Chains A and B, each alone.
Chain A
Amino acid sequence: MQALRQYIHPGWFLVAPFLLVVVAFYLGPLVNILWLSVTDPEPGLGNYEALFTSDSLARILWTTLRTCLITTIFSVAIGYCLAYAMVHAHNRNQNIMLTLLLISFWISVLVRTFAWLMLLGHNGLVNNAFETIGLIDRPIRFMRNELGVLIGMIHYMVPYAVLPLMVNMQTLDPRVMAASRNLGASGPQTFWRIYLPLTLPGLVASSLLVFILSLGFYVTPAILGGGKVLMVAEYISVQLLVTLRWGTAAMLGTLMLLGVLALLWVMSRFMRLSAVFGGGATR
C-alpha cells in the first residue's frame, strides 16, 4: 500500500469507486454497442450502407436534422433576448426572472408535454380561444405534426439556451459599449458592431448545447408527434423494443454519439466547458 502511494496520488483512491462503476457499467456496454453496429446481423458496414439505400432512414435523419435546426434557431433567438434582458435588468427584477426561468427548467418534461397536449389539441385551449375571438373558423392542426413537436421542443430548450448566454454576457465589460456610444455610434450600431460580436462565443455554445440536446430528445417528439413525426431517438426505441433489430439501432446510436462528441469538441473551442457544466479547475 505504502509503495503504491508513491506512484499513485492518494486522491485517485477517492475517484476509483465511481470511475470503476462508469467503466464497467457504462463504457463497457457502450463499446459493445459500437461494436454491434458493425457486426450485427453480419460483420461489415451493411448497417451504414442502409443510410444511402433506405429511403425511410434518410427521411428520418432529415426530419431529425431539420427539427433540431429549427428548434435551435428559435430557442437561441428567444434565449438571447431573455439573457440580454436578464443581465441588464435591475437586481430585483433579475431575481424574479431567474426564479421563473429555473422553475420552468425544473418542471418535469412529462408535465410540460402533457400541458401542451391539453393546450394544442383539436379542442384544446389555444384553438378554442382563437375561435372565440374569431381569429380562425376551423381548428388549427397543432398536434401529430411538426408544428406541435417544434413548439414543445422550443419550450423545453429555451432555458438551456439562456444559461451559457448569461454566463457570457455577464463577463462583458460595459465600458466597451459606453465607449462605442461616446465615439458617436448609435444604439443599434453599438449592438450589431460591438455587443453581438462579443457575445458570439456564448451564441455558439448555446446553439451547440441546444442542438446536442435536441438530437437525442425522445419524450416530446414521441408524444406530440403522435407517431407522425419520426425522429432518430424514437426510431431507435422502435428498433430495440418492437422489431428487435440491434444492428440498425446501434448504427444510429453510433452516429448520434459521434455527432454529439464532435459538437462537444467544437464547443470546447469556443468556451471552457467547465464554465457551462461547472468544474473545479480554477486552481
Chain B
Amino acid sequence: MKPGLFAHLTRVGAWVALLFLVLPALISIPVSLTPKRFLSMPEGTYSLRHFQNLFTSPDWLSSFAQSGVIATSTALLASTLGTLCAIGLWRVTSRFSEMVRAFLLLPLIIPQIISAMVFYRLLVPIGLIDSYLGLILAHTILATPMVLITVSASLANFDPKLEQASRNLGASNWTTMRRVILPSIKPGVIAGALFAFILSWDEIVVTLFISKFNVYTLPRRMWNGIRENTDPTVAAAAVVLIAITLLAFVIYALVARRRAQTSPSEE
C-alpha cells in the first residue's frame, strides 16, 4: 500500500498521542526543584531542598521502608504461589482447569474498589486491619494473578517432551520441577515477581481502606500530600517514583530480551 495522506496523518497523530501520554508526568521534575515552600514552578532559581527533605524526614523514610518491606514480601509470596499454580494448571489442562484459571484471575479484573470492600470486610473482624500482615495478604491476592499470567505465557512455550524425557530418564517429580521446568520458565517468574512488586509498591485504593496509622505506605503518604496540595516534597517523591519505574522497566526489558533469545520458537 502506498502511504497516502491518511497514513501520514495517523503517524503524526500517533506521535502526538505518545507525547501526550509520556510528557505530563515530567512536570514533577521542575516542580520538585522549586526553591519555594509551596507547590510552584521555579522561576530562574532551583533548589534541591525538597529532595533533602524527602530523604531526611523520618515520615517519608519510614514510608519508603514500609512500602519496600510490603512490596518485597508480596513479590516473594505471589511469585511462589503464582508459579506453583501456573505449573499445576498447565499440567492438568482441561476444560475445568481453564474455568479455575479464569476464576483465579478475578482479583485482577474485579474493580479495585470492590477488592477494597472485600479486604476491609475480611480484615476488620480478624483484627488485621492496619497491619503489615493484612496488607501483604491483600496485595498478594491482587498480585498473584499477574504471576499466573506471565508464568503461563512462559509455559506455553515450554516443550512438554522435555518434562517426559526427564521423567523417562528417572528423575523424580521434584527433580524434574527444579532442574527442568523452573530453569526454562525463569524469565516468566522474574517478570511476574517484578509486576507483583510494582503492583504492591503502587497500590493505593485497597491500601486506603485497610491502613490507618501503623502502616503508612509511600502511595498513602503521597495521596495525603496530593490532597493537601501544598508541600513540594510530593513532587520530589513523584520524581523518585518515576526514576524507580524507569529502572524497573529497564530490568524488565533485559529479562524480556533474554526470554526472546532463549526461546527462538516464539514468534
List A residues at the B interface (Cβ < 8 Å): 9-19, 21-22, 25-26, 28-30, 32-33, 78, 81-82, 84-86, 88-89, 97, 99-104, 106-119, 125, 155, 158-159, 174, 177-178, 181, 187-188, 190-191, 212-213, 215-219, 223, 232-233, 236-237, 240-241, 249-250, 253, 256-257, 260, 264, 273, 277-283
Contact = CB atoms under 8 A, between A and B. Distances in A.
B17 A78 contact: yes
A118 B27 contact: yes
Contacts of B249: 102-103, 106
B113 A279 contact: no
- Looking at A82, A115, A212, the one whose CB has the most chain B CB atoms below 10 A away is A115
Contacts of A89: 11, 14
B24 A116 contact: yes
Contact of A260 (B87, B109, B141): B109
Given A14-B91, A187-B4, A29 B122 contact: yes
A223 B226 contact: yes
B175 interface: no
Nearest to A250: B117
B41 interface: yes
Given A102-B249, A108-B245, A281 B98 contact: yes
B120 interface: yes
Chain A's interface: helix, strand, loop or mixed, by majority?
helix
B76 interface: no
Task: Give me the 4 closest cross-chain CB pairs, A-B, nearest first.
Answer: A216-B111, A14-B88, A85-B14, A11-B91
A119 B256 CA distance: 34
B98 to A, nearest CB: 6
B78 to A, nearest CB: 9
Contacts of A188: 6
A25 B140 CA distance: 11
Interface of B: 1-2, 4, 6-7, 10-11, 13-15, 17-18, 20-22, 24-28, 31, 39, 41, 81-82, 84-93, 97-98, 100-122, 137, 140-141, 144, 148-150, 152-153, 155-156, 160, 173, 198, 202, 204-205, 208-209, 219, 222-223, 226-227, 229, 234-235, 238, 241-242, 245-246, 248-249, 253
A187 B6 contact: yes
A125 B34 CA distance: 14
Contact of B90 (A11, A116, A236): A11
Given A104-B21, A233-B111, A237-B208, A280 B141 contact: no
Contacts of A86: 14
Given A15-B85, A110-B204, A236-B113, A100 B21 contact: yes
Given A17-B81, A216-B113, A257-B110, A110 B102 contact: no
A113 B18 contact: no
A114 to B, nearest CB: 5
